[in-house]
């Protein structure tokens, strides 16, 4: 159970960092921020796999997670129409 709380906390922090790095509004709440951070960790893991090998489905460290979350935010911002 403690690992789940750790993933939630890690996802929230990574999501906050990624949202802080991206200009403009990101309309999402706490749950969206947590999911962004956790998903960013796996996207960063895939990027790490493509760069240096290892297991395809893996999580990454702080830097890889933030990079993955920023990539996901960029994709989300491209998908949403601007007003």
List, for residues 5-57, the tens digit of each pLDDT value.
Answer: 888 899 999 999 999 998 888 888 899 999 999 999 888 888 888 888 766 66
pTM: 0.81
- The more confidently predicted of residues 82 and 15 is 15
Report the alpha-carbon distance of residue 70 to residue 81 in Å, rounded.
18
Residue 49 tokens, joined: 């796999």
pLDDT value, residue 83? 55
pLDDT value, residue 73? 92
pLDDT value, residue 58? 63
| Length of the chain as a residue count | 83
CB 18 within 8 A of CB 73: yes
The answer for residues whose C-beta is within 8 angstroms of residue 30's C-beta and 6 or more apart is: 12
Report the alpha-carbon distance of residue 72 to residue 52 in Å, rounded.
21
Rounded mean pLDDT, 62-82: 85
């Amino acid at each position: 159970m403690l690992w789940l709380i750790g993933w939630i906390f890690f996802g929230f922090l990574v999501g906050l960092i990624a949202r802080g790095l991206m200009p403009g509004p990101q309309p999402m709440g706490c749950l969206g921020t947590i999911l962004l951070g956790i998903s960013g960790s796996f996207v960063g893991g895939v990027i790490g796999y493509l760069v240096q090998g290892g297991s395809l489905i893996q999580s990454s460290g702080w830097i890889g997670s933030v990079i993955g979350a920023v990539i996901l935010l960029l994709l989300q911002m491209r998908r949403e129409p601007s007003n």
